[in-house]
Structure 1
């Protein structure tokens, strides 16, 4: 319990919980799974795994699995039951325990044993799951913006640093590689609501807050489950777009921009957003990456608004002049 509640990060909390449960249950394999919405139906995605005595790195996690292929788990979620069990084709016993927060369960704990679970073991696991649920709820509350429900600035700093350290398994290693332009990479997107101050001045802060909430909802629906969306402050939002090619990234960002432009906001009417984005690579400085995306956003703002600008593109076409390199510069 001390180890579990000592973490302030969801990923480390997942590992601490499955480590404790894995040892307690003498399990063959223990996993934390995510339930992900998809147009074709709900998907199960592995978030953390311990098989034997070793944790599986995130870069080697298996692909998504349709929930429909696990009928016992699907029935459990449909009935909002506390647990479900099944026997695998290999004869292993599987126990699933959804982490219910209200009437939603986006996280599922899976325990696999080679034989049946002892009667006195399950209540102990249930107790750990209860602590996990409560602490996960507390972490989630501390990481969210109170108005929009999006992730907050503090959470963004940590997640951007982690993305730049790992870069993703498929991140491109150099910008000068046109033959690899269709390979998946990681992207940093900055979005800003155009003329938002005039919305507050003309209609009041209540309608201004409603615009922020509706734009936040459109961000969540326009981007994918793997992407991370943050309210950066005021009317500015940041998105960490994962595993997308350049064409995919632009299409996803443009989908959000056009969704906002086509929406009629109550009382306010039409609202638009401007966006700037940049590809991020392992070893990039967080300050530099955010600065490049911000420069692209500023270019969009000063060249008509309601548009999307790619940093590398406006640099390559001479629309943005880069400052001379200064190796002695320091950021604080």
Structure 2
């Protein structure tokens, strides 16, 4: 059993936000007389909000972590189905439920964040055989306070300063840690992985990619003309609104990035190319219908590609951007699949030799 100081050191050692919830859960189980710790986040899809358990740890051993990119959204409980969790985030205060009277087991809920402005809202759910003492609750508060500080610190380094979307550094990190290093090491990936999952010794990272990851890019049509006509501030406002449309169109657990300038990217896990195309078409339609204040009618092109076992972020982005370029050369306001363009003979397939791309 480690000390509080030792667990705080572990919590502040991380450079990836995805590991913070599990580290905090392990600290709570190690330091306090608890039965279970659950961390549940609010995820959304097309205006519907549900609960996703991103981490669960039991005192007797075992537990699981969730990969949001693999989750079946329709199988998740709705917010109103977990009334105590919902009350916790609505009131931004701790909620405690006694299961068998004051001396019996109870569940307490604490909001992960003090403000509802975060796009990663959720609750810390603690199952205990009895009520926590004041000192024990103080330990929970300290760990949660450090977790919040670390989360926001790491979020700042992962985010684009203008739009608040993930930045290119975050794309590279996620590509290697979440895409090419699947916990189950293969194509049959599950949304939930047991905590005792072990990598296959000697297996190369690049061969662990599952077959259903997709990377897409989006580029605003005629963006330079917008800046020249309306000015720098209006062009920045356009980018902010494009980011909002992206957030409102794609699922909470799809990763949305700003690559720079008018270019954005989306990393998603989806079982079928047609569903990916439909998602990008929804975005294109939402852009087409939106009236940008002071800028008027603005469109965008999207392109996407399936991630392969030999990909790096750069090679996958190159293919997606070629699909975008094709759409813009065809007049803009289009979405294209790189694979479909190649199948139709409209693009030559890329062959990578070292750092040189051959067409």
State the TM-score bracket (shorter-chain normalisation): 0.7 to 0.9
**Residues 159-187 of structure 1: CA distance to partner in whole angstroms, max 9, x if unpaired?**
1222133277559xxxxxxxxxxxx9221
TM-aligned CA distance change 1:16 to 1:94, over 3 Å = same
Where does residue 152 of structure 1 map in the other structure? 167
Q: Does 1:23 align with 2:34?
A: no
- Displacement of 1:20 in angstroms is 0.8
Whole-Å separation in 2 of the counterparts to 1:8 and 1:212: 28
- Displacement of 1:259 in angstroms is 1.0
Whole-Å separation in 2 of the counterparts to 1:290 and 1:324: 14
Q: Secondary structure at the match of 1:206?
A: helix
Q: Secondary structure at the match of 1:296?
A: helix
Q: Does 1:100 align with 2:116?
A: no
Whole-Å separation in 2 of the counterparts to 1:27 and 1:275: 48
Q: Does 1:69 align with 2:81?
A: yes
Where does residue 294 of structure 1 map in the other structure? 321
Runs (4 or more) in structure 1 with deviation over 6 Å come to none
Task: List runs of 5+ in structure 2 lacking aligned partners.
Answer: 1-7, 191-210
Q: Secondary structure at the match of 2:112?
A: strand
Q: Does 1:132 align with 2:144?
A: no
Q: 274, 284, 291: which is aligned to 2:301?
A: 274
- Displacement of 1:212 in angstroms is 0.4
**Residues 43-93 of structure 1: CA distance to partner in whole angstroms, max 9, x if unpaired?**
211112222334414369895222222222222322222x1122469x742
TM-aligned CA distance change 1:289 to 1:134, over 3 Å = same
Whole-Å separation in 1 of the counterparts to 2:343 and 2:189: 23
TM-aligned CA distance change 1:104 to 1:233, over 3 Å = closer
Whole-Å separation in 2 of the counterparts to 1:325 and 1:292: 11
Q: Does 1:165 align with 2:172?
A: no
- Displacement of 1:311 in angstroms is 0.8
Whole-Å separation in 1 of the counterparts to 2:285 and 2:165: 20
Q: Secondary structure at the match of 2:345?
A: coil
RMSD: 2.7
Where does residue 288 of structure 2 map in the other structure? 261
Task: List runs of 5+ in structure 1 lacking aligned partners.
Answer: 172-183
Where in structure 2 are the equivalents of 1:221-240 lying within 5 Å? Answer: 221-240=248-267
Where does residue 92 of structure 2 map in the other structure? 80
Whole-Å separation in 1 of the counterparts to 2:242 and 2:144: 35
- Displacement of 1:324 in angstroms is 5.3
Where does residue 316 of structure 1 map in the other structure? 343
TM-aligned CA distance change 1:96 to 1:234, over 3 Å = same
Q: Secondary structure at the match of 1:276?
A: strand
Contact 2:46-2:250 within 8 A present in 1 as well: no
Where does residue 277 of structure 2 map in the other structure? 250
Where does residue 46 of structure 1 map in the other structure? 53
Could you state the TM-score of these two structures normalised by the residue count of structure 1?
0.86
Contact 1:170-1:243 within 8 A present in 2 as well: no
Where does residue 20 of structure 2 map in the other structure? 13
